[in-house]
Structure 1
């Protein structure tokens, strides 16, 4: 479940400033599909990734954007509506947000000297700042004030 671990890392490194203690991740309803043939031991892992952000205080659109950005680059088989969600509204500023999305990982089983090597499909790094910008702001129309800003480290 390398994709789920990488998605978790992507969320923690995002401008959302979510703390690790507030980010819970689970893999549910997993399924393994064998692609074995005469000389093939490859397989796929497909599961529902459940991501829970507790005590979330930012706009939900920001969390959705960060996850969709990563998903488009790293889960090519995703559906056009890949994320389901639930929210527990704690007060007018805070919520617990649960995202559920299906992830699929292809695992190659390659014969090497002395045994087999299992290789997961690679995770593509995502540039959170569009167009390699070092500073950017996120607006949610029609509000003229930014809901988030990002300044690259060292700026």
Structure 2
């Protein structure tokens, strides 16, 4: 396979954009094995070419998924992503949590109540209070960002209030 032994900066570019196929060796589609244009390392291209023949030529979903190294479930997810957002939707999402998952509305409300009672509380004090009340460790900077989003910011001075 021509892509295996090529030292190519494309691999690093694909890795940086989160579009490097982790299993290019599983792609057995003839076009990817014989043509230089098709690159089994390019996850977006592989997923698009997996969905295209099933939609345009009526190929069986299970055969298309198998030829591109994916499950039927992955085929349907790729097809739905294409329908919703086009090629860009085939790029995997960034890993990690989305948003302030520890700072739920009840936690933010507790923070606001604490600040209403004592406006001099710092984010570090609020983090300690959240740990005591909710058993969650929240970084003071996360609290500052959440309060800034809500239009209320704590005192960021370095003096401890007690």
Greater RCO structure (CA 8 Å; 6+ sep): 1
* Between structures 1 and 2, the one with greater strand share: 1
TM-score (norm 1): 0.22
TM-score (norm 2): 0.21
Structure with max Cα Rg: 2
